[in-house]
Each structure stands twice: as structure tokens, then as C-alpha cells.
Amino acid sequence: MCGIVGYIGNQDAKEILLKGLEKLEYRGYDSAGIAVQNDNGVTVFKEKGRIADLREHVDTDVLATTGIGHTRWATHGVPSKVNAHPHQSTSSRFTIVHNGVIENYSMIKREELSDVSFVSETDTEVIVQLIEKRVNEGNSVEASFRLALKSLKGSYAIALLDNQNEEVIYVAKNKSPLLVGLGESFNVVASDAMAMLQVTDQFVELMDKEIVIVTKENVTIKTLEGEVIERAPYTAELDASDIEKGTYPHYMLKEIDEQPLVTRKIIQAYQDINGDLTIDSDIVRTVNDADRIYIVACGTSYHAGLVGKQFIETMAKKPVEVHVASEFSYNMPLLSEKPLFIFISQSGETADSRAVLVQVKEMGHKAITITNVPGSTLSREADYTLLLHAGPEIAVASTKAYTAQLAVLAILANVTAKATGKDVNFDLVQELGIVANAMEVLCDAKEEMEELARNYLATTRNCFFIGRGIDFYVGLEGALKLKEISYIQAEGFAGGELKHGTIALIEDGTPVIALATQESVNLSIRGNVKEVAARGANPCIISMKGLEEEEDAFVLPEVHSLLTPLISVIALQLISYYAALHRDCDVDKPRNLAKSVTVE
């Protein structure tokens, strides 16, 4: 979380920094700031709230060609102007922006900086004060920066200004993402290439424990020991229009609507010249060599993992466990003899998942990352990557990444099953094509979905999602979507579990959204609906064509029974979207959340 930008060149830095921060706002949006530097020194502007609030307070008369900026998701200290970045050292000589968490900040404060009076509650201020202390001890700025970094435990992406040298931005990273972008007589710094596509598509990846000296003409990467490292730039293959809302009122709605297209793109991306589904043969061999697969992920990606387990176990007949990343490290299950880890992460940057990846790599196990972001940390650090091809997902609530994850997991299951001669008795290319068409029907049913949201969720405090088998997993995702953007207390339950406790929560009018897409459990889930209705609930049944009954609120177009999550979820995404709109919630940037969760 938190986004960082920097610019050094010949143009006025303010607008470039502000525009960059707007593109990074998905990473955190509780406060923001920029620091710009000219002959008169460094000027800091910061505000609580969004980039738009910051923009109003930036003095347009201050012209400067060097600057850094930050958009914050609070970890240490409440969201406030004083805790907003940039932070400065006591003499104001050094100005810093930081993304990450310094785990030993209180120890450094106590042992090294006991005579310093701190202005903010942040861990970040410790870094800038420590740098100043090292400079006061007689070290050069670069050496002080390196020395300070060596004292830090935790994660950081940092950009630093020295008000005695307008010609340099000092940069470093460890565990938090950071890139340097290259231009003609200018260079930039950004947490994500998206932020600087406005000025360049040439980027250099930074590795952990490197520092970078960025001037307008040069970018010098060094180790913490001062050894220079050469690294070629790459071209960011992002289309600037992919990160615009276009005519949509919200990114979330745009991304929901992109799902049919993304599904078709995925089919193409994983087809060989004969039209057969294909995956790198090393990956297929690795999957088939494993005796058990451990899927590790968070949030929506975890929910995709649950459905992925069904795909892999049904098609490839390989046992799969699915684990929440944040629990895995200290609650590790007994591993099989030949485990394979699959990390699912839209962003490829989620710190909880990354911590597990580091741990299992140290144990010598193989790992595959399924991600939307090529070159992301989880992609770089795993043995193999399978890409989602979903295009940038900006809304905090994940939508198209979820269905893309399901499509890629289905393809992985299918290809690995076929490689070992398992009988997969359906044509996945054809079935995913049918899914893409059915997704379009769902995307065209916005009015019906808005009406369902109005009828069932307009005034409710809570809402339950029930389903059995694969529908239960989709219910979990529907509940997450609804709660994160509408703040309605929502939970997903296995239909059969209600009577073991949860049914006590059913009151007159409690909305219960039931998914009925599976013939094998259709009667049972409808039985559960009757149980809650008998206790006053207001059931909303979403069924699959062929299984529908008169009382159903919406009937989904028919797709293969294993692939129903790819379309039933769209109904739940749209219902959540409209429920949030009806409550005037900020759909794309829900409270307390951030898109890329880079702290553990």
C-alpha cells in the first residue's frame, strides 16, 4: 500500500507528480503529499484526504523541476496531515516518502534517536532522522543513506531529497515495489509503471537492497555496499487508455463489463496454433510431478483458489489444499512429500502471499504464481508465472481478475489433466467461449441487478449468501464484494451449515441471496432457502437455466456446471455495485482499503 512518485528533469514537477499520484491512488487514499525542490530549497505540500484535496492546496506559483510524492494508506499513525508524507528531518535538510513498514522503528528511536523530537507518529520519520544523524556524523549523503538502510528491518520503497543538492533523488527498495522510469533529460520514480506512463514507457526494475542515484541524465543502481549494477530497461506494455475510466462512472463497472473480453483474451493467450489449450511444458510437468498442490492467496484471490481446487481435483484428479496466506506462515499444515505451491495474486505484490513464497522457496519447494502483473514481485520470485491477461484492474474491489483467475485455473487443470491422459469429457475452449457469451448476457442485465439491489439491500444492515459446493465459494466472494464496497455486514455460508448456528441471525426481512447453479444440490439449497424463509428471511434465489423455479429472482444463462462461478459471480458483483451506489459509497475507493496490500 501507499504509492510513491518522483520526477527530476526540466519541466515543472508538480503536475507530473500530482497526475502520477492520481494513478496510484488505488494504493492508498487517506492522505497525500508532494515535496518540490528548486534553488530556494524544498517545499512540502500535504493534506489529509484524496489527491484532489492535496491539489487544492498546492501553490501553483512554486516552480520546481525536482520532486517526490506519496499517497498513503495508514499503518503507523492515524490518517492526518501531520502523518501524511513527505516527512522531513529536524533541520529540514532531508525530505522522504516511504512505502512499507519499518519493524524496528521504535528500537531505532530509542537507541539511536533518543535526542530527536519527532513530529509524526509514523515509522517513516525514523528513516529521515537517521539519515540526517549519519550525515551529521561526517558521512556523505549517499553513505548515510546506505548506512541508514542497513539499520532498517522491514519493508520499504523510499525516495529522498537533499535540499543542498537539487540534482539528485536518492531511491531504495526492499520488499516493496519501486521502478525507475527513463526519459530524455529526465527520469522518474514510481511504485507502479502506470503512474508515469504519461511521460515514459521505459522502466528499470529495482531489486531488494539496492539504492539508486537518480539525476535527470543518469540512473545509477548500486548495492548497499556501493557496487554499481548494470540493468537494461524494459518497455511497459500498458496502454494508457487501459487505465482510464472512459465514459464509465466507475472503474468497477468498467472492469465488470470487461469480463467477456478478458475471458476471450485468455482463451487466445493459452491456445497453440492448432487452437488447443497449451501451457509451458515445464509448468505442466511440475504440476504433474507434485503429489499435492497448496494454493496460497488472500481475499478474492483466495476465493478463486477455492474454485480452482474444484477444477484441479475434478479434471486433473490431484489433491489440492487452499490456504489464506496471512495464516500460513505460522500455521503451516503438514506438507506432503512433493508439494507444489500456487500463489494467486492479482497484483503480484501482496505482502502476506510474498512472505509465504519466500518461506517455501527457502524450504526448497517449487512455486507458480498466477498474476495479472508481469514482472511483479511474486512473479519474479516464483519458479513459473501464469498471466491473467486481464489488463490493469484499478477498482479496489476485484472483479475481472477473479474471473480471469478462474479461467486460467481451469486451463491449468485441463492441460495438466490431458497431459497425463485423464479423461476430461468436455471441450474447455468451447465451454469458455460459451461462458464469455453468457457473461455478456449478465453485463447486459444491469437494470435487473440494480432492481435486485434496491429490492433486497436498500435498507438492510446485513445480508447472507448461501450455496452448496462450488456455489458456496462464489457466495463467499459475493459477500466480500458486498461488504467491502457497501459496508453492509455480509457473510457467505454453506447452505447446510446454517442450521448449526447462523440461522439464529435470521430476522424478519433479512436478505439471503442463494445460488442454485448445481443440479446435484439444487433441491438441498432450495430446502435451506425454505428454512430461512420460514424464519422471516427475504430470499433472493439466483439459479441456472434448466434448474429455475417460479420464485427465482434471476436465472443465469446455462454454462458448463463446473464453470458456473465465472458467471454467477457477475450477478453478485453487479448487485454489490448497485447496493454501494444506492448508499452513496465511494465504489472504487472504499473506506479503509487499498488495492495493493503490501504490508503483512
The 3-state secondary structure of 416-434, one letter per residue: HHHHCCCCCCCCHHHHHHH
Q: Does 569 bind ligand M6R (CB under 6 A)?
A: no
Asked whether 430 and 562 are in contact (CB, 8 A), the reply is no
Q: Which residues pair with 222 in a beta bridge?
A: 211, 228
The alpha carbon dihedral of 257, 262, 263, 268 has a sign of positive
Residue of 48, 216, 309, 595 with catalytic role: 595
Binding mask 37-76 for ligand M6R (x = CB under 6 A): ----------------------------------------
Quick check: is 2 catalytic?
yes
- CA dihedral 467→469→474→475, nearest 10 degrees, is 30
Closest CB to ligand M6R among residues 539, 590: 590
Contact 437, 260 (CB under 8 A): yes
Q: Which residues pair with 491 in a beta bridge?
A: 464
Q: Which of 345, 486, 510, 576 binds ligand M6R (CB under 6 A)?
A: 345
Q: Of the listed pieces 164-172, 347-355, 413-421, 545-553, which binds ligand M6R according to CB under 6 A?
A: 347-355
Q: Does 176 bind ligand M6R (CB under 6 A)?
A: no
Q: Which positions from 374 through 413 interact with ligand M6R, judged by CB under 6 A?
A: 396-398
Quick one: how far is CA 497 from the chain centroid? 31
The one segment of 65-73, 159-167, 344-352, 551-559 that binds ligand M6R by CB under 6 A: 344-352
Minimum gap (Å) between residue 397 Cβ and ligand M6R: 4
Q: Is 463 part of the annotated catalytic residue set?
A: no
- Min separation Cβ 372 and ligand M6R, Å: 8
**Degrees (nearest 5) of the Cα angle 454, 460, 465?**
85
Which amino acid makes up residue 201?
Answer: D
Q: Could you tell me the three cell numbers for 314?
A: 475434478
Residue with nearest beta carbon to ligand M6R: 299
Identified catalytic residue from 2, 298, 443, 540: 2
Looking at the Cβ atoms of 166 and 257, the one nearer to ligand M6R is 257
Question: Considering the rule CB under 6 A, would residue 353 count as an interface residue with ligand M6R?
Answer: yes
Q: How far is the CB of 582 from ligand M6R (least distance, A)?
A: 19
All cell numbers assigned to 12: 515543472
Q: Give least dist CB 350 to ligand M6R, A.
A: 3
3-state secondary structure 96-162: EEEECCECCHHHHHHHHCCCCCCCCCCCHHHHHHHHHHHHHCCCCHHHHHHHHHHHCCECEEEEEEE
Q: Minimum distance between the CB of residue 175 and ligand M6R, rounded to whole angstroms?
A: 14
- Provide, rounded to whole angstroms, the least separation between the CB of residue 50 and ligand M6R: 18
Say if CB 27 and CB 3 are below 8 A apart: yes
Q: How far is the CB of 346 from ligand M6R (least distance, A)?
A: 4
**List 37, 350, 528, 538, residue binding ligand M6R (CB under 6 A):** 350
> How far apart are alpha carbons 98 and 1 in whole angstroms?
10
In 3-state terms the chain splits into helix, strand, coil percentages (rounded to 5) of 40, 25, 35
- Binding characters for ligand M6R, 288-317, by CB under 6 A (x = yes): ----------xxxx----------------
Query: Cβ of residue 202: shortest distance to ligand M6R, in angstroms?
Result: 25
Contact 588, 576 (CB under 8 A): no
Task: Name which of 373 and 494 has its Cβ closer to ligand M6R.
Answer: 373
| 347 lies in the site for ligand M6R, by CB under 6 A | yes
Is 346 a binding residue for ligand M6R by CB under 6 A? The answer is yes
C-beta of 132 vs 352, nearer to ligand M6R: 352
Of 452 and 485, nearer to ligand M6R (C-beta) is 485
Nearest to ligand M6R of 353, 416 (CB atom): 353
Cα–Cα dist 191/10, whole Å: 22
Shortest spacing between CB 510 and ligand M6R, in angstroms: 24
Vertex 77 angle, CA 74 and 79, to 5°: 55
Neighbours of 419 (CB within 10 A): 15
Is 196 a binding residue for ligand M6R by CB under 6 A? The answer is no
CB nearer to ligand M6R: pick between 1 and 316 = 1
Question: Phi, psi at residue 19, to the nearest 5°?
Answer: -65, -40
The minimum distance between CB 571 and ligand M6R, in angstroms, equals 16
Q: Does 597 bind ligand M6R (CB under 6 A)?
A: yes
Per-residue mark of binding to ligand M6R, 476-515 (x: CB under 6 A): ----x---x-------------------------------
Query: What single DSSP character describes residue 332?
Result: P
Question: Which window, 148-156, 341-349, 511-519, 564-572, contacts ligand M6R (CB under 6 A)?
Answer: 341-349
Give residue 174's identity as a one-letter amino acid code: N
> How far apart are alpha carbons 371 and 375 in whole angstroms?
10
Residues 297, 351 contacting (CB under 8 angstroms):
no
Number of residues that bind ligand M6R (CB under 6 A): 15
Sign, CA dihedral 121-123-127-128, equals negative
- ω into residue 374 within 30 of 0, thus cis? no
Task: Tell whether residue 517 is a contact of ligand M6R (CB under 6 A).
Answer: no
Q: Given the complex with ligand M6R, which of 37 and 300 has the nearer CB atom?
A: 300
- Least distance to ligand M6R from the beta carbon of 351, Å? 9
- Select from 240-248, 346-354, 435-443, 575-583 the region that touches ligand M6R (CB under 6 A): 346-354
With respect to ligand M6R, which residue has the nearer C-beta, 199 or 356?
A: 356
Distance, CA of 246 to CA of 317 (rounded, Å): 44
- Phi and psi at 293, nearest 5°, equal -110, 135
The reply to whether 132 sits near ligand M6R by the rule CB under 6 A is: no
Nearer to ligand M6R, 212 or 306 (CB): 306
Q: Provide CB contacts within 8 A for 582, sequence distance 6+.
A: 453, 454, 457, 458
The CA-based diameter of the chain, rounded to the nearest angstrom, is 81
All cell numbers assigned to 94: 532531508
- Positions that interact with ligand M6R (CB under 6 A): 298-301, 345-347, 350, 353, 396-398, 480, 484, 597
Residues carrying an active site annotation: 2, 595
